[in-house]
Structure 1
Amino acid sequence: MKLRKPNKSVRTFGTAIAAAALMTGGGNAFAEPVSLELEFTCPFPLIGDQPIRAQISADVPTQATVGEPTQEFTVDALTTVNEDSRLGLKLVGSATIEGTATNETTVVTPNREIDLTVPLTIPQSPIPDETGEFTVPAQGTSPAITFNEDDVGEAVITIGGLTLDMIARVENGDIAPAPIGEFTSACVQNPGQDNILQTMQVVPDEQFEPRIAVSPESIDFGTVQAGTTAEEVVTIANTGQAELGINNISLGGTDAAAFTQTNSCTTVASGESCDVAITYIPDGEGDQSAVLTIESGDAETPLVDVPLTGTSVLAPIPEIVVTPEDISFGTVMLGETASAEITISNEGNESLVITGIDISGGNSSDFIQTNDCTTVAPEEACTVDISFTPSATGGRSASLDITSDDPATPDVSVPLSGQGNDGTGDTLEVLLDLAGQTDIKASGSSLPLSGSIATQLELATGMFEADLALDPTQGQFKIPLLFKSLTANARVEFEQADITTGTLINGNLTANSSLYVKVPKVTVRLFGLKIPVGGGRDCRTADPVSIGLASVEGTNFSLSEGGDVTGNYDLPALQNCGPLTDVLNQFLAGPDNGIDLTLTPNL
């Protein structure tokens, strides 16, 4: 029976039978019994469309490995024929029924559809004289299939239509009279049924493949005086289980002539590494760049590019860098003081001489600075401490002015601002620092949290709006990878989706925050190296996380002293995290995650 290809929501009846056979052979572990019964409508001669039922049972694995052919497997299917069909066969004296069938199976992977043909034989089976439905067996052997790298991820095995090529025979063995004697019936699966036989994971074959890991991913030589050189090392490691061949290492790009490389990398054994020495030979003046390209036998990543950058200067010069570029102290009550810190760094290759640090502007008397900055050596830094004590309500501003011998930027000004408040206005702005942790129930682990929340409180009602800023953090989780449990290190970042709202009434604080959780990088340590296994700049929760917080019961929250808050939230599933997105969701996504924070006024 030749399966007609149905619509995409209803794949093929052969899918079930072939997939059941296909997915049970060697090289594919985790087999589990599956069974599916479906109803079809089949046109028969003389009696028209008739219903039949098909029961398919087999052992289908939940996982298959790239590059390992599945074994052929015998499939048994049992089809139930109704009473009307029995009578139609008996009309021309049929005593037995037999035939052949052809099932087409479709296995849908992330990047393609795999169509398979499974021939089935329907042995000669008696047609009972007794009234009632009867069953007809069928048996066949599935072909093998080999998944490739494009199939890594979730594969869905479904069932669609069915075509029968049948022969009915009379008692003496002759073919029964037409049209019952020989006929073809193109059966259609009845709509609205769950036709998914199995969902499985196709995983990469890491057992006998080399895998390249290059570190660092880029090199910035910084400022280097022309006539001198600077050196860095790129390490090429093999994290796979087969020997890695290094086919070529070359330099290219706009300023390739300003860089040289030497190496002894030819083949790298499993778990071993080799080094590429990169030398920057600056010429002239200005920024220069090139690319180190590594060609290897890693089928997944045959080319790896390492960007190289540097700045050439004709003579040693200092280079001033001031952070942050501006400071806002927020709202500070009259009579109180808030503090902040400015860092002056020297990223040049000559000592930086600070010739002056002063505060100027209309409200300069509200700001005071102290510093230890005189001469800053290359790659070193000094600090300037700034305090703000408002002398009046409303906006207050000034400027921290820094002068140095940096020839390119001799004068740098850092804007300073703040709000004075005497407690009698309509609103009060308060900046709170936060520290604490969140517990991830899915993996039984926790993440440290820090950051700030800038709050604008309406004094008359106790209602507030706030901007929540959580710092990037890292955590460790146990994950199943490469058929064993490994410790993964995940970098986690947060992006505010909406402003935080809440109330502070009689010492009780409540707040509701909405933010996206982002996981840009997840690594595991193998053979002494950190190996990336997922994440990416687009890896984040599909929906914002909604977090409700409230004061710890029995405690009093105040703006002058802060307090503790606690809450519970559900973490939505991650998306766009690469082939191991489902693995990452196993140890991050899920309900009933706790959060405990201490909020402290930033005065």
Structure 2
Amino acid sequence: MPKARWLLAAGLACLAVACLASPSAAATQVDKKLSYTCPFPLIGEQKLDVEVKASFDVPSAPGGTLTTSGLAVSVVVPDKATRGLALVGAASVEGTAAAEVTLANGSLTLPVTVPLTVAKTTLPPSGPFTAQATGSVPPIVVPNAGKTTITLGGFSTRLTPKKADGSFTGLGSFTSDCTLDPGQDSVLLSFDVGTTQSGYHYSLTGTTTVKALGTTVPLNGSFAVTTQPTFSDRPAFDPAQAAFKLFGFVPGTAELRFTPDGEQTGSLGDGGFVAHTKLALAVPQVSLFGVPVADQNCRASAPIPVDLRTGTGFALAAGGPVAGTYAIPPLTDCGAFTGYLSSLFQGEGNAFAVALTAR
């Protein structure tokens, strides 16, 4: 989600490298072999063979969760590196790594840096040796339908060779920035997020603030979101009762009825959405001192556009906060007091603040 680094994962270790990614729904086993070029002190650039194994559960619908388990990364380090480390008296090597991974899901492209731990590895007298690197991957919500890929990039390691007695060698700790050798398929995992779930239905609670009246009005209702084949929204607000005071002491009440008007569109992204909504506003009852002053046909003279955006913590599968601001145009057909009532309601700076709960 930002919460973005919730994301995916991939791990790659070179001489500490690991590769991770996350999904959630049908177990998919991955065994990927790649080659990298990494610079070493004293001996220059070396080619390393990396093997990544993991099990992924991939989501079947947008808003589902991606999880990963059984991540195991092996890095084969060539004999020349072994001999170079022996020159400084190294008996073992250990450290950390940071792998570059990219999650692509519909319109979402998310670069992720995954921290890894390189286990202490005892060095042989000569010949290649194999290092193991691991890292943990949090669950990840995949917001969009369609093809989703987890692609590996380069990685950086911070390695510390040590002598047999545990003391440092003359190299201390060194950093090696490794690059993926060209001509390889670096996609760790590819899967389709299905379209079996074509929409979401929520109950709605919250408020709308009418700035000109100086009042905040409780709201209830429902909200339907269609994600296939294109995004559309359909808010349904129950009639709401506004209580206000003119000049700070004249008590008044008004019934507000917000209903969809025209095309309702929007877009998905990063686990939430923005809904481009148009609302008709009817004000069939307005009373001052308990006396009705509006005809039942009283309403806003034009549709009210408002962008309703999901907030922090929103998830399509569960719901969460949604907010938006709007302007009320002049009122019409309110009877003899149309002009006066219009002046009470119209203006900018009005706001919706609601919470959606999945049904």
TM-score (norm 2): 0.52
The match for 2:167 is 174
The match for 2:153 is 160
Q: Give the one of 184, 189, 208 matched to 1:193.
A: 184
RMSD of Structure 2 on Structure 1 (CA) = 3.9
* Aligned residues of 1:61 and 1:200 also touching (Cα < 8 A): no
Q: Does 1:78 align with 2:74?
A: yes
Query: Residue type matched to 1:188 in 2?
Result: T
Are residues 194 and 294 of structure 1, via their aligned partners in 2, closer, same or farther at CA, if it must alter by over 3 Å?
closer
- Aligned 1:70-469 pairs, distance under 5 A: 70-71=66-67, 73=69, 75-129=71-125, 131-148=126-143, 151-178=144-171, 181-203=172-194, 206=197, 209-210=200-201, 246-247=236-237, 292-293=261-262, 303=277
Paired with 2:177 and 2:81, the residues of 1 have a C-alpha distance of 15
Shift in Å, 1:210: 1.8
Are residues 122 and 103 of structure 1, via their aligned partners in 2, closer, same or farther at CA, if it must alter by over 3 Å?
same
The match for 2:303 is none
Paired with 1:62 and 1:295, the residues of 2 have a C-alpha distance of 31
Paired with 1:292 and 1:123, the residues of 2 have a C-alpha distance of 61
The percent identity for this pair of structures is 28
Paired with 1:239 and 1:161, the residues of 2 have a C-alpha distance of 39
* Aligned residues of 1:210 and 1:297 also touching (Cα < 8 A): no
* Aligned residues of 2:82 and 2:128 also touching (Cα < 8 A): yes
Are residues 205 and 173 of structure 1, via their aligned partners in 2, closer, same or farther at CA, if it must alter by over 3 Å?
farther
Paired with 2:51 and 2:45, the residues of 1 have a C-alpha distance of 20
Paired with 1:238 and 1:97, the residues of 2 have a C-alpha distance of 56
Paired with 1:296 and 1:87, the residues of 2 have a C-alpha distance of 64
Q: Secondary structure at the match of 2:141?
A: coil
The match for 1:37 is 33
Q: Secondary structure at the match of 1:42?
A: strand
* Aligned residues of 1:246 and 1:296 also touching (Cα < 8 A): no
Gaps of 5+ in 1: 1-10, 212-236, 250-264, 267-275, 277-290, 306-603
Q: Secondary structure at the match of 1:159?
A: strand
Shift in Å, 1:38: 0.4
Paired with 1:16 and 1:87, the residues of 2 have a C-alpha distance of 24
Are residues 86 and 203 of structure 1, via their aligned partners in 2, closer, same or farther at CA, if it must alter by over 3 Å?
same
* Aligned residues of 1:246 and 1:294 also touching (Cα < 8 A): no
Paired with 1:297 and 1:46, the residues of 2 have a C-alpha distance of 57
Shift in Å, 1:62: 5.1
Paired with 1:197 and 1:185, the residues of 2 have a C-alpha distance of 22
Paired with 1:189 and 1:238, the residues of 2 have a C-alpha distance of 45
Residues 61-104 of structure 1: CA deviation (Å, up to 9, x unaligned): 45454334434645220000000000000001100000011122
Paired with 2:225 and 2:184, the residues of 1 have a C-alpha distance of 46
TM-score (norm 1): 0.32
Paired with 1:60 and 1:72, the residues of 2 have a C-alpha distance of 5
Q: Secondary structure at the match of 1:176?
A: coil
Are residues 90 and 210 of structure 1, via their aligned partners in 2, closer, same or farther at CA, if it must alter by over 3 Å?
same
Q: Secondary structure at the match of 2:80?
A: helix
Are residues 75 and 246 of structure 1, via their aligned partners in 2, closer, same or farther at CA, if it must alter by over 3 Å?
same
Query: Residue type matched to 1:133 in 2?
Result: P
Query: Residue type matched to 2:174 in 1?
Result: F
Paired with 2:275 and 2:238, the residues of 1 have a C-alpha distance of 14
Are residues 108 and 238 of structure 1, via their aligned partners in 2, closer, same or farther at CA, if it must alter by over 3 Å?
closer
The match for 2:46 is 50
* Aligned residues of 1:16 and 1:157 also touching (Cα < 8 A): no
The match for 1:570 is none
Query: Residue type matched to 2:160 in 1?
Result: I
Paired with 2:86 and 2:262, the residues of 1 have a C-alpha distance of 76
* Aligned residues of 2:60 and 2:193 also touching (Cα < 8 A): yes
Query: Residue type matched to 1:53 in 2?
Result: D
Paired with 2:27 and 2:92, the residues of 1 have a C-alpha distance of 37
Are residues 90 and 30 of structure 1, via their aligned partners in 2, closer, same or farther at CA, if it must alter by over 3 Å?
same
Query: Residue type matched to 1:85 in 2?
Result: A
Paired with 1:18 and 1:246, the residues of 2 have a C-alpha distance of 42
Are residues 12 and 49 of structure 1, via their aligned partners in 2, closer, same or farther at CA, if it must alter by over 3 Å?
same
Q: Secondary structure at the match of 2:72?
A: strand
The match for 1:18 is 20
Query: Residue type matched to 2:262 in 1?
Result: T
Shift in Å, 1:117: 2.7
Are residues 124 and 238 of structure 1, via their aligned partners in 2, closer, same or farther at CA, if it must alter by over 3 Å?
closer
Are residues 239 and 295 of structure 1, via their aligned partners in 2, closer, same or farther at CA, if it must alter by over 3 Å?
closer
Gaps of 5+ in 2: 1-9, 203-222, 227-233, 240-256, 268-272, 280-359
Larger Rg: 1
Aligned positions, number: 220
Runs of 4+ residues over 6 Å off in structure 1: 237-240, 294-302
Query: Residue type matched to 1:93 in 2?
Result: G
Residues 197-253 of structure 1: CA deviation (Å, up to 9, x unaligned): 221123468498229xxxxxxxxxxxxxxxxxxxxxxxxx9798xxx851389xxxx
Shift in Å, 1:125: 1.0
